[in-house]
Amino acid sequence: MTVDDHALHELIVESQDLQVDALRDMKGMVSDAADLRQDRARNGVDPARLNKLNESRRLALRNGGLGLGAFASRGLLATGLGAAVAGIVASPAAAQGGDVNVQILQTASSLENLAVATYGAALGLDFIKSGNAVVKKFAETTMGQHKEHGDAFKAMTKALKGTEQTKTNPKYQAVVTDALPTLTDPAKVVDLAIALETVATETYVANMSLLDDADSKALMASVMGVESQHLAVLRAVAALLAGGAADLIAIPTDAAKLPAAAGSVSFPKSFEPTDMASPPEEGAVK
């Protein structure tokens, strides 16, 4: 397969521009978060705001965990991976104490840490290293962006006087560990990446509404936009692989040869649902 290096470079530049936009105001956000933490220490927490936050959290936990139905709607139940992730989502989470803002950021960090480790493992596979150049470059770029996302979430956690989460998400780490030996072709790698990016995207959509720190909310919203881009690309790649059209995963793409569904497969719904979202405490530091 021939890859136009200039076109591929331009695509990567566009992705990095979105990443830069997402993290541009990071220093100011961290400073403002630290100020907010000091204000809370002096004045305490507004009871009305706390009640609203807790009610929103309880609603999210009640509505979450659709499990098998959620993955069935995405066509991911054809593999053991889909069933394993769905089973995790269906399991109720035990409530934990502590600052929900910090817990949300720690859980986000745990998902980003896992994404970095997983993309790193995938890049070590021979059929990725010596396979489709576009897929390889996407994995390398995406892994770097996940690293930056994790660093941003850790910095915000620290600003709120929380403990940085340096470990991977404990529930999904088990799924990835079990899946790694089964990754025998690009399609299986893409399925695993889709599962992780789906969980991350929907977690940020759901937990963003539970944050009462405006800067943490802005950061999570920005990062969620980048994760959505990752997910859209992976869905398109998966569809082409499933349709036996791996040769169309190229830069530049021959648009005339793409199937009719190419314009909608990356965005199956107008808005991402939240039924695969991890609750705030799932990846919190214990």
Is residue 75 very low, low, confident or very high in pLDDT (cuts 50, 70, 90)? very low
Which whole number is the average pLDDT over 158-166?
92
102 has a pLDDT exceeding 80: yes
pLDDT of residue 22: 60
Tens digit of each residue's pLDDT (9 = 90 or more) over 267-283: 888 888 888 888 888 99
What is the per-residue pLDDT across 110-123, written as a single tens digit (0 to 9) for each? Answer: 999 999 999 999 99
Dump pLDDT digits (tens) for 178-210.
Answer: 999 999 999 999 999 999 999 999 999 999 988
pLDDT bucket at 96, cuts 50 / 70 / 90: very low
Structural domains of the chain in order of their starting residue, each with its CATH number: 5-263 (1.20.1260.10)
Least confident of 48-57, 160-169, 223-232: 48-57
- Please compute the mean of the pLDDT values over residues 2-27 and round it to a whole number: 55
Model-level pTM? 0.74
**Would you say residue 148 has pLDDT above 80?**
yes
Burial label, 184 (beta-carbon count in 10 A; 0-12, 13-18, 19+): exposed
Q: What is the pLDDT of residue 213?
A: 80
Q: To the nearest 10°, report the CA torsion of 83, 89, 93, 97.
A: 130
Confidence band, pLDDT 50/70/90 cuts, at residue 146: very high
The per-residue pLDDT for 126 is 95
Q: How many Cα atoms are found within 13 Å in the side-chain-facing hemisphere of 143?
A: 15
Q: How confident is the model at residue 252 (pLDDT cuts 50, 70, 90)?
A: confident
Angle (CA) 271 282 141, round 5°: 60
